[in-house]
Structure 1
Amino acid sequence: MVAVATLAGDRYRVLTDKQWELLELLLPKSEGHVGRNFTNNRLVVEGMLYRLRTSLPWRDLPEVFGPWQTVWKRHRRYAADGTWDRVLTALVALADSTGNLDWVMSVDSTIVRVHQHGAGAPDDSVTGGYEPADHAIGRSRGGLTTKVHLAADGHGHGLAVLLTPGQANDSPLLPPLLDAVAVPRLDGGPPRRNPDVVIADRAYSAASNRALLRRKRIQTVIPERRDQVANRKRKGRAGGRAPSFDTETYKRRNVIERAFNRAKHWRAVATRYDKLAITYRAGFVLALIVEWLKSLGDTT
């Protein structure tokens, strides 16, 4: 096995030393309370990132990363026990404490094609963590697809990720996305859950979503659907006023598109090769973590 130090500057290296120093603080040091300490954690994480970048099968990982089974099992463990989600939450909390988190939140979804190698997992697959029976794989015009629902801050950095089958509607996912955002306060106190503003497109313009955001005292920047406008006008005065809509703030919605574009630079994110939703989602979260590490590099 080639030592980690020899990865510097070559095609296998993804994380800088400074990025790894921050990430290492947030990762488990061993397999459990009584387990042996990891001696090759950086090498294994670099193997995960190499696979995420190239989309090759796990068993085809270069020998420089050691046994591919070790890389796969640790990624699988971190996905199931919530390690990657805890790392993402910790980085978001750090950004919030240093003033680098913009609480103007954008929400959207994107369709990801499922490769034939990613299909075929049995409905009763035994897995730790949450795994839907359909493995978040559905059918749409593009064939087998998964839909990724993302909440991002005003800088386009990911806050929460959910998966559904590709044919699922976007609107019902707004409440669970909001629930998934809980940013701890490093100086103590309850975590912050509500952004200042939520920006979304017409797909989220349900009355229930607007009512939810009103109850949470979150500014809503969502345009009405055409059928909603027509229905309101048809009722005349009984239809009520049009909901407020800030056109200038809505221009900031492009940050969520840029967030998806950055995530899809990773080939194993742009196309789903994983049979299990929990494993694919963990790769998406890992891609978001790398973006946070890049953004926090100059502030820590």
Structure 2
Amino acid sequence: MVTSSSSRYQVFTDAQWARIEPLLPSNEGRRGHPFGDHRRVVEAIAYRYRTGIPWRDVPREHFGPWQTAWKRHRRYAADGTWDRILAQLLAEADAAGDVDWNVSVDATITRAHQHATNTTRPDQDTGATSNYRSPGTRAGEPAGHGIGRSRGGLTTKIHAAVDGHGRPLAAVITGGQRNDGAMLGAVLADIHVPRLGPGRPRTRPDSVIADKAYSAGTYRRELRARGIKTVIPEKSDEAAARQRRGSRGGRPRTYDKTAYRGRNVVERHFNLAKQWRGLATRYDKLAITYRAAVVLAACLIWSAI
């Protein structure tokens, strides 16, 4: 266990850890060296991303060898451990009625540090790193490692969906040049909340609140086909084009302006997530390890509910 003298290095409270620990992989049936103190290692991972320090600088006297923390993080990123833990926490919150299914969607840019970009990759990343839904499966690392060239240089983009209280439901990683609206389908596909009892997992929000980057007709039709209420304002050029077509342009697109005021929760979520310096700037070479840290931060939020 993490000792009281190391309390200032802790990220999880005792109550949060009591919810997380039973969901972590156990040594039962495991070959090779058994897992050591889960909390010390997980706290080391969280501490590294909270401070943004290099792995080699993780304090050994508090967390043990940095190699142990890195290897465990890499393992959990590959086997989807944090996704399964988040799914369980979401299932418990949904069963208690704590999930607001009026979902806000947006994306945020993070600069890729030079330590994250010294890998072989195509000029533009066209892949997306999403979740791991089935135990034992491994998500493929996108060809560009989730790094692309945008106006800010080499960047990564986090596409997120949050509930009405600003708590994360889904996260998809792409290169920074990827269009926000084009990733709407992938973000919604990442929402997967199991039932504690019988029934299929919930994957459909009641409504989607988003800015004008998601206003194209393609995205609206996608939401309408799934029976999801659209709360998205229309771009001025789209409105002008519709008016030029006259009656063939169709009716003006309306939206709930009162509900749209709640879209700021996704911006507040990004502000909170970027308090972790290892998320505000990407130091990870692999997209799956960077995304695993994003999901770990989400687990921290939902374990406090």
After TM superposition, the structure 1 = structure 2 runs for residues 276-287 of structure 1, keeping only pairs within 5 Å, are 276-287=286-297
Alpha-carbon offset, residue 6 of structure 1: 3.0
Aligned residue for 2:56?
59
1:181 aligns with 2:191: yes
**Structure 2: how far apart are the matches of 1:158 and 1:254?**
13
1:148 aligns with 2:146: no
1:12 aligns with 2:22: no
**1:162 alignment partner, SS class:** strand
1:193 aligns with 2:193: no
1:171 aligns with 2:171: no
Aligned residue for 2:114?
116
Contact 1:156 1:259 in 2 (8 A): yes
Identity of aligned residues (%): 56
Contact 1:138 1:167 in 2 (8 A): yes
Q: Deviations over 1:212-264 (max 9, x none)?
A: 11111111001111111001000111111012310000000000001101100
Unaligned runs of 5+ in 1: none
**Structure 2: how far apart are the matches of 1:135 and 1:7?**
38
**Structure 1: how far apart are the matches of 2:218 and 2:32?**
48
Unaligned runs of 5+ in 2: 123-137
Alpha-carbon offset, residue 145 of structure 1: 0.6
Alpha-carbon offset, residue 5 of structure 1: 2.6
Aligned residue for 2:278?
268
Residues matched between the structures, number = 289
Alpha-carbon offset, residue 35 of structure 1: 5.3
**Structure 1: how far apart are the matches of 2:219 and 2:28?**
42
Aligned residue for 2:38?
41
1:92 to 81, 87, 90: 90
**1:108 alignment partner, SS class:** strand
Alpha-carbon offset, residue 30 of structure 1: 2.6
**Structure 1: how far apart are the matches of 2:178 and 2:261?**
26
1:291 aligns with 2:301: yes
**Structure 2: how far apart are the matches of 1:32 and 1:111?**
41
Matched AA of 1:59: R
**Structure 2: how far apart are the matches of 1:173 and 1:32?**
39
Alpha-carbon offset, residue 122 of structure 1: 2.6
Compute the TM-score of the two structures, normalised by the length of structure 2: 0.91
Alpha-carbon offset, residue 287 of structure 1: 1.1
**Structure 1: how far apart are the matches of 2:195 and 2:160?**
22
Alpha-carbon offset, residue 38 of structure 1: 2.6
**Structure 1: how far apart are the matches of 2:179 and 2:16?**
37
Alpha-carbon offset, residue 39 of structure 1: 3.3
After TM superposition, the structure 1 = structure 2 runs for residues 102-251 of structure 1, keeping only pairs within 5 Å, are 102-123=100-121, 129-251=139-261
Q: What RMSD in Å do the two structures reach over aligned CA positions?
A: 1.6
